[in-house]
Structure 1
């Protein structure tokens, strides 16, 4: 019913949404939309529009805009996009088609938010990313569940499961593509006790032996503006040094050891896709050690700098890459990044937002359930209409 139109590859594409939490489902939609056309404009709904049609959002508009801007497949983020997609707004930005997942989104009245553009033949369907949504993540916070965590990735059977389970390898490969979504881009490694294993190869370069790298590691849970701003600063420094940015991502057991409770809220597969989609990243290392050593960094290649954000960390963690003596000599390869506009933000900060408004978000979850039932009816009607054509 919504076939991909001829010549769409030469068009500017529109996609819109709440983009509450920068999870890999949002990135997957932007990736597929970007693959269809030459540019991607992303409409981001206002806090007020989301509240009226869906319930309260966790992340503020400026925070959600920061996340969309950081996605490498987004050409431009548009704030205050209407909740019900308006072809006039699309025309204003020169977008011929709107892309959305193969599910139905409804407004406060239970009506399809894309019905107008569907009727105009401007609607194109892509596959919705399964098993992840803002609703799922809020649910994990409210229920304090841990069954989404991966077991010890230092065991061969477990890291192989992470890489090869279901369509995981295909997802790693797709999220590692360049800004067009069509060509190889970022590199993906998994760190094992024996070696650094290449999972997804980067785009080919002629001088790979002389490539310089900078490194930063962390949990990157609920990938948020604090993470994004740190990666932007690292990317900025890497460009000045003529280097590429490699991000080490700690496994679920390590994050849980230091954070406790049911952290991480996102498992390592989900967190790694969030980092991979970021335009400031050239590669990732799954199961990165909590304490980076020169031996480990040597596995990556010529790492010239190791960074850490302005958040507090045990000083001994980076002893292996810290220099000796005083002044500049004491820094060695290691450098702490300066404070930034989102340095107050952390995973715990976001979870606190949800838990402090628990009653409101429980009601939001119920409302989402009611909307889901309405959306199932509309989807069934749409399938029947398609069969009759």
Structure 2
């Protein structure tokens, strides 16, 4: 998994070929584990837009305003290329009618707001849409995104995308070569995830989760607060154009009572990524590991305490015995 278990924050990707190394960020390991153990919801963000404009948070209005500027700057910093100097993923926000809405309404064009301008799709690229909670961004999420990228590259090979003549033509016409797919990742907001997962999920709020996704090398654009159900209207009104394909991985952690990908299936653009080595690494699995580790730690401490008590009792008895023997001699 990609969590940094050395006291460093969990946001960002740190697996060599699977992602880019991120600097220390806002989410400390102790805070994350605290959320798991205490089952708190105080980290939830009601509105990302309010959060990055200083209208949501803690402190005085002035402190919230300064914090909002810092949060928004962090998003802009993360939305850069690998050098950190040039534009990278484009960042959008869906201003849906309800945070708990499962369906994207029609007339959605006005509900999509550009936050950070980045690299846009290039001629010939397929628009690929994926979505999810991406909570405790881990090897499971990154392997899914890598698989999507790999499938699209394989299809690109089949249609001659990587033929030297095609690559030379792209360089001649656009000044650079680029891949066959433009991958857009929709990140669900906290209320939507909590509705379906319950307890105090997500463990990381939408701001933290979005930063993780922005750092992934396989993602070209991010839509914050994306609807849980990508409808035809939503996909058509995307600022990147109608999605050519919608991918999703096997969902086992959320007991769904309906198919959120009904419309992409009907349109014939839905594809599912099959099994992969990290498919079971998700937020629920990580929390269970933490809980088991905590139980094992508490059991070790209990055994040590009992041993210490027993040793103290034996020592006390030996001292009493020696004292009694001394009294008899005297």
Length-normalised TM-score, structure 2: 0.66
> Is the radius of gyration larger for structure 1 or structure 2?
2
Partner of 1:260: 198
Aligned with residue 147 of structure 2, among 228, 233, 236: 233
1:146 corresponds, among 34, 41, 57, to 41
Structure 2, unmatched stretches of 5+, are 57-64, 97-109, 157-179, 300-330
Unmatched 5+ residue regions in structure 1? Answer: 1-16, 31-64, 75-100, 102-127, 325-331, 364-389
**Corresponding residue number in structure 2 for 1:133:** 28
Residues 309-348 of structure 1 correspond to what in structure 2 (within 5 A)? 309-312=249-252, 313-323=256-266, 332-348=268-284
CA distance in 2, matches of 1:263, 1:147: 11
1:214 corresponds to: 128
1:202 matched to 2:118? The reply is yes
Query: What is the correspondence of 1:281-320 to structure 2 with a 5 Å cutoff?
Result: 281-300=219-238, 301-312=241-252, 313-320=256-263
What is the alpha-carbon distance in structure 2 between the residues aligned to residue 23 and residue 297 of structure 1? 37
State whether residues 3 and 138 of structure 2, in contact with CA within 8 Å, keep that contact through their aligned partners in structure 1: no
Return 311-320 or 179-188, whichever deviates more.
311-320
| Alignment correspondent of 2:4 | 19
Please say if residues 23 and 274 of structure 1, whose CA atoms lie closer than 8 Å, have aligned partners that are also in contact: no
**1:322-357: per-residue Cα shift (whole Å, max 9, x none)?**
127xxxxxxx01111111001122211100011112
Point out the structure with the larger strand share: 1
Q: In 2, are the aligned partners of 1:22 and 1:224 still within 8 Å (CA)? A: no
Q: Secondary structure at the match of 1:357?
A: helix
The TM-score, its normalising length taken from structure 1, stands at: 0.57
Distance 1:165 1:354 in 2: 32
Cα offset, 1:285, TM superposition:
0.5
- Residues 206 and 231 (structure 1), Cα distance of their counterparts in 2 relative to 1, 3 Å cut: closer
Which runs of structure 2 are paired with 1:1-389 in the superposition (5 Å)? 19-20=4-5, 27=12, 67-73=15-21, 128-129=24-25, 131-152=26-47, 157=50, 161=55, 165-193=68-96, 194-203=110-119, 207=123, 211-239=125-153, 240-241=155-156, 242-300=180-238, 301-312=241-252, 313-323=256-266, 332-359=268-295
Instruction: Indicate if the aligned counterparts of 1:249 and 1:284 stay in contact, CA closer than 8 A.
Output: yes
Separation (CA, whole Å) in 1 of partners of 2:298 and 2:189: 29
In the alignment, is the contact (CA less than 8 A) between 1:70 and 1:279 conserved in 2? yes
Aligned-residue offset at 1:158? 6.1
Q: Quickly say closer, same or farther: Cα 1:305–1:139, change in 2 above 3 A.
A: same
Note if contact 2:11-2:211 (Cα within 8 Å) is conserved in structure 1. Answer: no
Q: How many residues align?
A: 246
Cα RMSD for the two superposed structures: 3.1
Distance 1:190 1:352, change over 3 A: same
Contact kept, 8 Å, 2:52 with 2:71, in 1: the verdict is no
